[in-house]
Chains A and B, each alone.
Chain A
Amino acid sequence: DAKTTQPTSMDCAEGRAANLPCNHSTISGNEYVYWYRQIHSQGPQYIIHGLKNNETNEMASLIITEDRKSSTLILPHATLRDTAVYYCIVRVDYAAGNKLTFGGGTRVLVKP
């Protein structure tokens, strides 16, 4: 699975959009970009994933560049409850052995 690079931390103002970047310059054509987050002391929570098209769900939007070497997770209206560590993960979708490799992630602090 391709490695990812994320900023160690970032702050965001409550009510504003939070844009979380991720670099995955060695991504292969069959690898997906996944985003998870982990709120303090809880298990990780799935947010969104995509292959090459932009994706949106009730939690966030995922923008993947045309060359697929980087992506941005957008939380449209950050709330204090969005304070968490956000993990960008790149991996192939196997039918069996659906493994995730977690890196350091980005620690996001939403401030009032």
Chain B
Amino acid sequence: NAGVTQTPKFQVLKTGQSMTLQCAQDMNHNSMYWYRQDPGMGLRLIYYSASEGTTDKGEVPNGYNVSRLNKREFSLRLESAAPSQTSVYFCASSEPPRRNEQFFGPGTRLTVL
């Protein structure tokens, strides 16, 4: 089991460019999440998907869109990147209510110049 995988590991963008961060999990979890972590800060929830076919905004959704492609995959898109979106992005999955802990991926380190 790979758990939660994220691609790419690192990315540098110029202001205004777009990109999609990919996340996949092989644990057959229903719920998936996208967080961002700025230097020295805790994680903040961007979007989540409670189950396939549903998505909801989290704490900081502005400037992002998400797609729950299927049960395994949950992508995060930046349509027009801004320097304020420089951060580390973590994807997570869980299987409430049976297993409520979230399993996190290794993160994508994004720099917007």
Give me the interface of A with B, judged by CB distance under 8 Å: 32, 34, 41-46, 49, 87, 93-105
Contacts and interface: CB of A to CB of B under 8 A. Distances in A.
A44 B104 contact: yes
Nearest to A48: B101
B107 A43 contact: yes
State the main secondary structure of chain B at its contact with A: strand
18 contacts: A43-B104, A43-B106, A44-B43, A46-B101, A46-B102, A49-B100, A93-B96, A93-B100, A94-B96, A95-B97, A96-B96, A98-B94, A98-B96, A99-B58, A100-B33, A100-B102, A101-B59, A104-B42
Interface of B: 4, 31, 33, 35, 41-45, 48, 50-51, 54, 56, 58-59, 90, 92, 94, 96-97, 100-107
A4 to B, nearest CB: 11
Contact of B56 (A41, A97, A104): A97
Contacts of B56: 97
Nearest to B45: A99
Nearest to A91: B100
A95 B90 contact: no
A109 B92 CA distance: 26
Nearest to A43: B104
A49 B100 CA distance: 9
A42 to B, nearest CB: 7
A93 B107 contact: no
Given A96-B50, A97-B50, A103 B102 contact: no
A109 to B, nearest CB: 16
B56 to A, nearest CB: 6
Contacts of A104: 41-42
Of B4, B43, B105, B107, which is in contact with the most chain A CB atoms at under 10 Å from its CB? B43
B96 A101 contact: no
Nearest to A44: B104
A97 B48 CA distance: 7
A104 B43 CA distance: 9
